[in-house]
Each structure stands twice: as structure tokens, then as C-alpha cells.
Structure 1
Amino acid sequence: MNIRSKTSRRWRLSALPAVLAGVVAAALLAPASPAAAVAGPALETPIATLDAALNCPSSFQHPDREPVLLVHGTSSTADETWGWGYAPALRADGYDVCAVTLPNRAMGDIQVSSEYVVRAIEKINATTGRKVDVIGHSQGPMQIRWALKWWPELQSKVDDAVLIANPGHGLGGGNLLCVAPCAPAMHQFSVGSDFLAALNQGDETPGPVSYTSLYSFSDEAILPHATSPLSGGTNISMQSVCPGRVVAHFSFLYDAVGYKLVLDALSHPGTASPSRLPFGKCIDVNLPGVLPSEAVAATAVATANLSAEVLNATKTQNEPPLRAYAQS
């Protein structure tokens, strides 16, 4: 070995500790990858039960579009809420559509039903390798927000969260009904509940998710109307888009303008923007494919189910206790 090669080797050996130190420092100072995000709590509901509640197409046929997850509300099921309107309309517009059915018609502990949404997002994301667009109606936005808040790893797996008729800061009707024992979920969406305090503490729109909240001043169920807007989200009243338009709580599920705003959120970066809707946007009444007779029939079913569940659902004297992960 000549002198030059020995010198070169000695330099490499002496420089090695400095090089390793630099690599370690770079690793420590580099921003964490999404995979390194803090994981949420373990799911307490059996995975097989959660998976059985999710209905997705046998294969995902639209790789150019993000898959959609639909989350229903109080006293309903996935099929009753979405099966006759949103699901077929979204499929016709080129989306792969999944829907999750929450346990006990969403009358039980919202902390439990939120696990169904957590698992649904994880499974759809793992199956497709793409972010998921999540749409919820009525109580559905509560499950979506609870999942995104307490399972922060989901925030990198969801693109749009579209909240329709969101009771996010509480309903006065819950307080009235829960003077006597009432369903656990009704305790939780009553104004002043521990659940709502935990849901709304800190950032109401965590992560890079695009949050759109659609609400209506003619919604007879979401009162006060100020309960729907989210701090940090895009909040759109139907009357700000179409002055004088009447959109009741259940008619949100077939209102043509509401559907156009949902599609706008799904098909553009960021949240929905009324300015992108076409001229004459307020002329249409029902979303594509929904006949007036279907809307009337579906509304009658929803009304009957709500009345039955308020009377017959399992009732408790008090709100379910907060899970340990949500206690500050």
C-alpha cells in the first residue's frame, strides 16, 4: 500500500465519527413522516364487528377519484339515509362509494360508534392507497370529527370532511328531551355535555383535512343554527347560496344545491366554494335521480324512525363517561 492510500484510509476512519454524528443529527431534526404520527387509542370494538358494518364495492373502479365514505345520523341506517339518493348519485358521477352502518341506529354512545368510522377510514385507505372523502349527515359529523381528533393518524388519510346539518356545538332539543332519561347519544349532543366539551376543545379542524360545514336556517332539527359552523372550517348556509331556499333537516339528503356543494368540495382542492357553482344553480330542487315521490317517502320513514327511537331506544339517566383518552 502506498503512502497516499494509507493517508486516504486514515482520513476516512478519522472522519467516520463526524459523518455518523451528522447523520444522527439530521434524522433527529428532520420532520416526522406521516407514518410516525402519534397513533390514537386502541379500538375496543372487535375488528370483525367493525368490518361487517362497512359496505364498499367489491372493487374500486375509479382510481382518478378519491373513494367516498358516507356516515349516517341519529335513528337511521346507512341504507335508509344514503341508499336512495346520495350513494347512487355519487356513483353516477364517477365515485366509488362506501357507507358505514353505526350500531343501535346511532342512539348509543357516540364514542363507540366513532370507532366504526375510524376503522372504515383505515380500511378504505389501506385497500385503495388513496385518501378518503368523508361525508356525514346530522349526528354523522360528530363521529367524523371525533375520529379525526382522537385518532390523529387519520388526518393524513382523509382529504375532505363534508359535514351536513352538523350539530357540532350542541342541540337545545337534546337538553329538553334529556330532562328525563334519554338515549346516550342524545345526552352527548345536548348543549353543555362533557362529550361536546372534549370534541370542541382546542382546534376544531385538526390536520390538513379540508372541512366544509353545510347548514340551513330552515333546518328545524339543528337549533340553534349557530351550532353548525366550525372554527377554522368553511361554513356555508344554504340561504347564503340561494336566498330564501327552504332546506329542512332531512331534505338536505336530496337537496340539489347541497349536493352540488358536496361535489364541488370533492372535485376541487380544499373546501367547497359557492362561487364555482354554475349559473342557475338554484333552479334544481332534488339531486339527480331522486323523484319527488321518493323524497316524500324517505322523509316519512325517517320521521317515523326518529319518533320510534326516541321512545324505544335504551335510555340512561346520565351521559356516558368520557373515555380516558378524551379526558384532559
Structure 2
Amino acid sequence: MSVVLWAGALSQGPSAVAGPADSSAPAAPNASGALPSTTASTADGSAQGSSLFAPPPPARPNVASAPQSGTGPALTVPEQELAKTMKCNGDLSKGPDPLLLIHGTLSTVDATFSWSWLPSLEMEKRPWCTVELPKSGVEDIQISAEYVTYAIREMHKRAGRRIDIVGHSQGGMIGRWSTKWWPDTRGMIDDLVGIAPTNKGTAGFYPACATLGCGAGTAQQGRDANFIHALNEDAMTFPEIDYTTINSTFDELVVPYTNGFLPSGPNVSNLVVQDYCTAEPIDHFLIIVSNAAYVLAKQALDNDGPNEAPGMAPSECLRLMPGVNLLTFPFDGLSAVGHSVQVALFGPKVPGEPALRPYAEASPPSP
């Protein structure tokens, strides 16, 4: 049932997982065994996009500095479209800080949260919102981040106070792109909790990209991707926000799992579930229903600052989080993994990661 099985199948190549022929699938390796790069050059010679499968190009894009103030670039997605993907429950102005849930790559709100965090939040009476990333999270993340930016602003406006964010995988990282380039959002967020986040990219997607191809959002999370380079160049965190990352040593998709970490600081806490529950056998997928991960996230959300003093009673380990239906859990898990596999096999593919948006690139120096 685990994504581990899917990732293992992908690593065996097309003979292990058959799919229809796709004219947009990546080209075959050349004589040296390397796959072709899709990197183009700007007038100043900086790279615009990169190969999904080759080492990073020698010339990186010149990344702009994060703006210190203002509202950032205009959103290009129509507001009506942005609003359709946001769903909220409860009075955002009352009770615990309202929580924005963001799903990850190859997934949806329903596949990730309907059987995990949403029932738990209902039990807790915590107001919440969700945002549906386009194309099951395989759209260009620079586009998906506009949906997240809109949701942050809209939640903050409705709540009249700062909000919290919990995201899984890409969902635990994408809020950092929003806060980097749309600086008004920094003061709208109290806690940003990433569960198995892809903060520094991953080598875990390369086998799938090399055999089946990737969507744009998958390609951008390669550890050598220009997107990841731009995300982490200059400021990686901001003092207005408390950051907690929750990671697993058994994560088979964020490789190495420490790529989920953020730089140490007074407002940053990087946690590993196995430091508190040694025998917790949770991978990238099952961490979303792990009670241990839930407890660590709740401690971050309910206390001031990041989760700097985590604690875990032995009874909290090796359990599913509150709200998970034990009778439907196997079906819910299979359904969620099935959706991810379907998108991985039959979803949109790109020959290389998209170019950085102009706002993320520095102007070339004057001659």
C-alpha cells in the first residue's frame, strides 16, 4: 500500500510499470548515457530551466533578492479561478489559529487530508481552509504558489489575525516560495509546519523522471533544479514566521530526508520522528497519518515559537493520529496511493523544468 512500493516499481523502469506511449516523454539517453538538457540561455548567458535528469547546468540563473516589503508581483491566475480552489470550515476569527492545509505532489486535498487531518480538526473544533493545487500538484510550482498566496491573503482577511499552515511534501515547501516573493504574506503567518517537506529538493524523483517522465512540479523539486536553487538562494526563512519541519528517516521520496531541514535559527526547529519514536516505520506517505508526527505538529501549532521542546510519551508512538477511521483506513490509503500512481503514469509530462519567472531572476549587470 505504501508509496515505497510505487517508487520501487518506478526504479525498475518501464518494464515494471507499463503506461501508454507519450510523445512528450523524455528522449532516450545519448551515447554517453546522459539524458538531453532542455536548458536554454538568456541574452546574458544564464540558464532558463534545466534537464530533469542530468547534473545542474554550469550557469545558474541569477536569482533576485527577496523583496523586503510590498505585495510582490501581480498574480497571473484569474481571481475567480483562485477562489474556486479554496474551501474553508468554521469561523476563522474564533478559536485556535485557523489552519491552512496544503497537499503535495501527485495528490489532492481529498487524497491527503480527508481521512487524516480534516477529521482530526473537526474533533478539535479548529477552523481550517484547504487549497487545491492545480493538476494534482504537478503544475509549475510558480503557478501553484499563486493559489497558495491567494489562500493566505484571503484566510488572513477573513480571520482578522495570523494563520497557521501545515503542508505535506511539496505542500510543506511551497509556502516558502509565497513568502519569499510576496512579502506581505510574511506577517500573515504564525506557524509554518512542513511534514516531510521538500525544502532542499530530492534525489528521490530522478528514477521516475528518467523512466516515465515528470510533470513540471515534480521536475522543479529535484535537488539540482533551478527552482530549488532560487527558493534557497538568499533568505530561506523570515523572522515573522515560526518554522517546524517534521521528517522521517524512512522517507523514500525526500532523499536524503535531511533535505527537509531548514537552516538553524531561533524560529526554526527540525524534528525527526524516529528521535522520539525509535521504531516508528513511517515513510513519505504514512507520515501524514502518524500520530507521532501529528503530536509534534500540534505542539508547534499550540505553543509560541517553533516546536523547540518536543516531547513524546511512549504511548503516542506506533499509532494512527486521531480521526483516522480504522475500518476504512486500508481503503482510504489505497485510494490515495492509487491517485498518485495514476497521475505519475498518465498525468502531464514536460521535457525539463519550467524557466524561472522574471520576478525571481536578477537583471543582468549593465555592460
State the TM-score, normalized to the length of structure 1: 0.84
Paired with 1:294 and 1:145, the residues of 2 have a C-alpha distance of 34
**1:271 aligns to what SS in structure 2?**
coil
Paired with 1:132 and 1:188, the residues of 2 have a C-alpha distance of 27
Paired with 1:306 and 1:61, the residues of 2 have a C-alpha distance of 31
1:270 paired with 2:309, answer no
Q: Residues 286 and 293 (structure 1 numbering): CA distance in 2 closer, same or farther, change over 3 Å? A: same
Is the CA contact (8 Å cut-off) linking 2:92 and 2:128 kept in structure 1? Answer: no
Paired with 2:146 and 2:177, the residues of 1 have a C-alpha distance of 9
- 1:12-64 CA-to-partner distances (Å, cap 9, x unmatched) read xxxxxxxxxxxxxxxxxxxxxxxx9322111000011101100002x506623
**1:263 aligns to what SS in structure 2?**
helix
Give the aligned residue type for 1:220.
Answer: E
**1:79 aligns to what SS in structure 2?**
helix
Give the aligned residue type for 1:46.
Answer: P
Q: Equivalent of 1:45, from 68, 77, 92?
A: 77
**1:176 aligns to what SS in structure 2?**
helix
1:254 paired with 2:289, answer yes
Give the aligned residue type for 2:298.
Answer: L
| Other-structure match for 2:256 | 224
1:268 CA displacement: 0.6
Is the CA contact (8 Å cut-off) linking 1:62 and 1:95 kept in structure 2? Answer: no
Paired with 1:254 and 1:72, the residues of 2 have a C-alpha distance of 13
Q: Equivalent of 1:141, from 168, 172, 181?
A: 172
Runs of 5+ consecutive residues of structure 1 not aligned to the other structure: 1-35
1:290 CA displacement: 1.1
1:215 CA displacement: 0.3
Give the aligned residue type for 2:347.
Answer: A
5 Å-filtered alignment, 1:147-186, equals 147-179=178-210, 181-186=213-218
Paired with 1:62 and 1:258, the residues of 2 have a C-alpha distance of 27
Give the aligned residue type for 1:226.
Answer: T
The one of the two structures with greater contact order (alpha-carbon pairs below 8 A, sep at least 6) is 2
1:173 CA displacement: 2.5
**2:101 aligns to what SS in structure 1?**
strand
1:242 CA displacement: 1.3
Paired with 1:176 and 1:218, the residues of 2 have a C-alpha distance of 18
Paired with 1:226 and 1:84, the residues of 2 have a C-alpha distance of 27
| Other-structure match for 2:154 | 123
State the TM-score, normalized to the length of structure 2: 0.75
| Other-structure match for 2:246 | 214
* Deviation beyond 6 Å, 4+ runs, structure 1: none
1:324 paired with 2:358, answer yes
Give the aligned residue type for 1:198.
Answer: A
Paired with 2:318 and 2:81, the residues of 1 have a C-alpha distance of 40
> Which is worse superposed, 140-149 or 96-105?
140-149
| Other-structure match for 1:15 | none
For the aligned residue pairs, the C-alpha RMSD in angstroms reads 1.8
| Other-structure match for 1:9 | none
Give the aligned residue type for 2:345.
Answer: L
Greater per-residue helix proportion = 1
1:321 CA displacement: 0.7
Is the CA contact (8 Å cut-off) linking 1:254 and 1:286 kept in structure 2? Answer: yes
**1:163 aligns to what SS in structure 2?**
strand
Give the aligned residue type for 1:67.
Answer: P
Q: Equivalent of 2:342, from 296, 300, 308?
A: 308
1:282 paired with 2:344, answer no
Q: What is the percent sequence identity of the aligned residues?
A: 32
- 1:220-267 CA-to-partner distances (Å, cap 9, x unmatched) read 222111211111321000011111211111111211111111111111
| Other-structure match for 2:63 | none
**2:205 aligns to what SS in structure 1?**
helix
- Which of the pair has more CA radius of gyration? 1
